[in-house]
Amino acid sequence: MSKRPAGALAGIAMILILVAPAGAAPRSPEALSLLAGPRTAAPVHDVVLARPGAASARISATASTQRYPVNDGTSATVAIAVTAGCAAACEAADPQPIADFIGTLIHGYEIELLTVQLDTPFQLGLDCGFEAEACYYSGQNKMVISGESWTSIGGATREFVIAHEYGHHLAQHRESPAPFPVAIDWGPPRWASQERVCQGWRRGTLFPDEYGDHYYSHPGEAFAEAFAHNRFPQARVRWRWTGYLKPTAATFDAIREDALAPWQARRTLTIRSHFPSRGSAVHWLQTPLDGRLSLRPSGLRRRGYSVVLRSSNGRVLRTSRQGIGPQRRLDYTVCGQSRLGIAIKPTRRSAGAYKLQIQRP
């Protein structure tokens, strides 16, 4: 997760907020705009943090939290916390419309785990960084947004940014097939496979473990932005991420499937057949998702098996070399291959029945 050091500006800001009288009257709009902190010309929408710091904890301690129905046709609710400062000064801190909007996003069980905190612009700078428009605390299932309505220089409305943050929240509660990183960094499995995240990572063009200078090459951020574009397909928000991650109709289909039918575990397939009198037995396997593929042949006692894994064009991807015993398996990480050929034969000449157990993402 991204970890940002507290800068000098945040430190000064914390001193200001600590010395302010508890009962001070709300500041004028001009004063509030001065306290809002700087905004970049090409804004970074957000930052993902593991947990809040001391200053953020103090801000959260002032908040009043209630649950509100999301009105999606179910009984689902979302927790919304309004800080004391925002309750006094923010012009768009009404929780129910925010809950209603969140209910329009594609979602599953994770919606009940979410907390939305509404900050003043100044508090948002302390919580998220003064260059960010929002943030998501993965360790708390909490998004922090402004209690003011606005449209950024980049064209993103507050609702668009909320949708982006919800993309992080959804990914936080989706599984990634081994051996890939967590979905909040890598992207949920169907989206990540559709968008060739594994290939981009291997080429060194995507950076799931880094934010900072690689914010726009981070697949988890690209997923969250694509999730927002799925909700606002006509939004005039320029795509700033790697070009091949730009959303398409197939991308949106993958996002909806990741949201509504989460991937849970590898699928086990079993093939039962007989070896030919000469050569290898060959099977073709569809591999729609990236992740670890495992092959375990069995059936001939005290004999091993030679297994060769090939791409759809015949290139050898992996071979067992010395053979696989009945209690061993061959593992391979699928990375962009949608169809694989499996050639299997006993290490000693023999005909007979065999069983091939396959586990795929």
Residue 179 preceded by cis peptide, ω within 30: yes
DSSP secondary structure string for all residues of 104-117: TS---GGGGG-EEE
pLDDT tens profile 199-254: 999 999 999 988 778 999 999 999 999 999 999 999 999 999 999 999 999 999 99
Phi, psi values for residue 136, rounded to 5°: -130, 125
Mean pLDDT to the nearest integer, 352-357: 85
The C-alpha atoms of residue 160 and residue 156 are separated, in whole angstroms, by 6
The packing angle between helices 121-128 and 8-19, to 10°, is: 130
pLDDT number for residue 275:
83
The answer to whether 90 and 147 have CB atoms below 8 angstroms apart is yes
pLDDT number for residue 278:
79
Mean pLDDT in the chain? 86
- Model confidence, pTM: 0.85
The answer to whether 35 and 160 have CB atoms below 8 angstroms apart is no
Please tell me the number of Cα atoms within 13 Å of 247 on its side-chain side: 25
The answer to whether 115 and 102 have CB atoms below 8 angstroms apart is no
- Residue 166 — very low, low, confident or very high, per pLDDT cuts 50/70/90? very high
Euclidean distance between the first and the last CA atom of the chain, given in angstroms as a whole number: 25
Per DSSP, the three-state class of 77 is strand
The C-alpha atoms of residue 144 and residue 53 are separated, in whole angstroms, by 13
354: closest CA among 287, 298, 311?
A: 298
Residue-level length of the chain = 361
195: closest CA among 235, 250, 232, 256?
A: 250
Domains of the chain by start residue, with CATH = 8-260 (no CATH), 267-360 (2.60.120.380)
pLDDT tens profile 275-323: 887 778 999 999 999 999 999 887 755 567 788 999 999 999 998 865 5
Burial of 58 (0-12, 13-18, 19+ CB in 10 A): middle
pLDDT greater at residue 93 or residue 39: 93
The C-alpha atoms of residue 96 and residue 118 are separated, in whole angstroms, by 12
The answer to whether 305 and 283 have CB atoms below 8 angstroms apart is no
